[in-house]
Amino acid sequence: MIISPRSLIAQFTLALVFLFSAHAGEISLPSADATFSTAKQNSIELGQLLFYDPILSGNKSVACATCHHPDFGTSDGVPLAIGDGGMGLGPKREIDPQNVPEQRIGRNAPALFNLGAAQFISLFHDGRLETDPSRPSGIRSPLEDEMVLGFTSVLSAQAMFPVLSPDEMAGHYSENEISKAVRLGQLTIEGGAWDLIAQRVAAIPSYREMFDGVIGPDVAIEFTDISNAIADFIVFEWRADNSAFDLFLREEGGLSEDATAGMNLFYGKANCVACHAGQFQTDHEFHAIAMVQIGPGKAERFESHNRDVGRMRVTGDDADAYAFRTPSLRNVVLTGPYGHAGAYGTLEAVIRHHLDPVKSLNTFDRNFLQLPNFPGAIDFAILDNPQELAAIAAANELEPQNLSDNEVNQLLAFLDTLTDPISQYGRLGVPDAVPSGLPVD
C-alpha cells in the first residue's frame, strides 16, 4: 500500500492532538462568537421568493428549495437527488415520465446552515469555489473565464452553478433556451444563460418592483443581483448559532449527563475535534476517510462516470484523491443522509464508519440505501470495482478506534445538542406563493 505524504501528515497530526488531549486532562472547547454578514430586510424578503421560485430553472420546474428544503434540514432527505425531470419533494420525488432525466445528481445536497458566518470561505464538497482576494472578482472558481464582478460573497457566487447544470436546474440539452445557451457555452454574455434568467425575473412586475427597492429603479437586473438576494436570504434564514451547545458555551444553560459524556468523548478520547473543530464543528479542510461512493459520481460527460476523486478534481494533486470537505455538524441530526454521496442513512451509521473506515467501506450493505427509483441508473459501479475500492481505502487518513455502544449513544446525545430549533424551519419560512405564479414546493 502506498501512503501519500498528506495522509502521513494528517495521521501524525491526529496522533499529536489525541496525545495532547489525553495528557492535558481536560478538553478545550470553542467559543460561541462567530460573526455573520448582514443584509437589508427587503433584500432578504426578495431572496426568499427567488429561492422558492422555479422561474430560475430552464424548464420552470425546479427551485433552489427543491433540493434544499427546510422540511429536510435544508437538504432533500435522499442520498442523491433527482433535479430536472423530477416531480415531488424529498423522498417522495420521482421521475417525470414526460421528461426523464439523464442521471441522478452526482453528490448529496449539502445543508445551508451558517453559510453566512465569516469562517465559510469555500463551498461545495470539494471546495471548488473559494474566496480569493487576489482575483478581480474576489473568488476562485472553475468558471474562471466566465467570472464576473458583482457577487457580494462566495455564497452568492455558489448560485451560478446549479442554474447551469443540466441535471440540477438547466434541463436537458437543447430543450429550453437556457439549456441551449449552456450547451453552446454561452453563460455570462448578453443573451447567455444568466442573462436569460435575469430577463425572466425582470419581466415579472412584482420582482421588478422589489428590485427597485434593492438596487434602485431603472437599473437593469443582473444575475448577480438575483444571487446576492438569495445569499442574503440564506444567511438570515438558516443562521444556527443558538443551540443547547451554544447556550452551554455562553454559560446560559447546561447539558444532560449523556450529552456531557458525549461532549467529552467528542473533544477527548474519540478525537472528533481533530477535523470537526471550531464553533460549527468543521476545520473547513479536506480529508479522505474512505467514504462510500455510489451513483454517477462527479465527472465531465466525456470522463468515466461513477468515480469521484473529490478535492483532487479541483487541485489536480494526487495527494488530494478522495478527500472531501469536513461538513459542519450544526443541525446534523436533521441533515441525513450523510457522506458526499449520501451513502449512510443514519447518524449512527456514519459515526460507526469513522471508527473503522476501510472495514466500513468494504462491508457496506447497499440494501439499506433508500435511493429514489431511477430505472437504468448505474449506482454501484464503484462498489463493484475492487481496484477503485482499494484506491479509496489506500487514501484513508483515519486509524481504527474502539468505542462501546454506550459511547456511540453518548456521542449521538451530544450531536443532538447542536440543533438550533429556530433555524430548523427558518425565520421567514416557505412562502404561500411566488411572483411567477409557478407552484411552490
The SS3 assignment for 251 reads coil
Number of H-type helices and E-type strands within the chain: 16, 7
Question: Which pLDDT value is given to residue 9?
Answer: 40
Residue ranges of the chain with per-residue pLDDT less than 50 = 1-25
Question: Which pLDDT value is given to residue 174?
Answer: 80
Asked if CATH classification 3.40.190.80 holds for the domain at 41-239, the reply, yes or no, is: no
pTM equals 0.92
Question: Which pLDDT value is given to residue 148?
Answer: 76
Question: Which pLDDT value is given to residue 135?
Answer: 87
Question: Which pLDDT value is given to residue 418?
Answer: 98
Class (C level, CATH) for 5-30+242-419: mainly alpha
Task: Examine residue 337 and say whether the peptide bond preceding it is cis (omega within 30 degrees of 0).
Answer: yes
Per DSSP, helices labelled H in 130-253 are 154-158, 177-183, 193-202, 205-215, 223-237, 244-249
Angle at 378 between CA 374 and CA 379, to 5 degrees: 85
Q: How many CB atoms are located within 10 Å of the residue 225 CB?
A: 23
Question: Which pLDDT value is given to residue 288?
Answer: 98
Question: Which pLDDT value is given to residue 58?
Answer: 97
Question: Which pLDDT value is given to residue 355?
Answer: 98
Where in the sequence of the chain do the CATH 1.10.760.10 domains occur?
Answer: 5-30+242-419, 41-239
